[in-house]
Amino acid sequence: MDIIIQSPGFNAGASLESFIREKLETLKGDRIIRANVMLYLGPAGNPKNQYCEIRLEVPGNDHFVKKNSGHFETSVSECVEILSQMIRQSKDKHTNGRQADAVLIQDALLNSGEDNDDTEREDAVR
């Protein structure tokens, strides 16, 4: 997985970048192509003005999360937690769809065998 970290308006330190890389490496998914991380400061009047946006590029629809808090580390941690939930949900949805298809196929095969009692075993194999 490629990790691209951008921080317009300020320079993110090496410790912050290594923290982000560590957190993103915990995401489990073999289909993740790239992670785009954008760190920026919001309005100065807001005490929670440190924003983090993460876009995970995966085949199909990308996952996107945006969070803000008083520290970048907190924002990144919250984003990664939500992304892991999103990945788990999409994986479960995909798996459930496959299992439902398998059940439908099995039912169709069993029902087709009941309809034609005259069909011999050789005809069913073909």
Q: Rg of the chain over CA atoms, in angstroms?
A: 24
Helix (H), strand (E) at residue 42: none
pLDDT of residue 9: 83
pLDDT of residue 98: 67
What's the token pair of residue 121?
């075993």
pTM for this model (two decimals): 0.73
Cα–Cα distance between 121 and 126 in angstroms, integer?
9
Cα–Cα distance between 80 and 29 in angstroms, integer?
13
pLDDT tens digit sequence for 74-126: 999 999 999 999 888 888 877 776 666 666 777 777 787 655 555 555 555 55
2-90: what CATH class?
alpha beta
pLDDT tens digit sequence for 16-71: 999 999 999 998 777 889 999 999 998 887 888 899 999 999 888 889 999 999 99
Quick one: 37 exposed, middle or buried, by C-beta within 10 A (0-12, 13-18, 19+)? buried
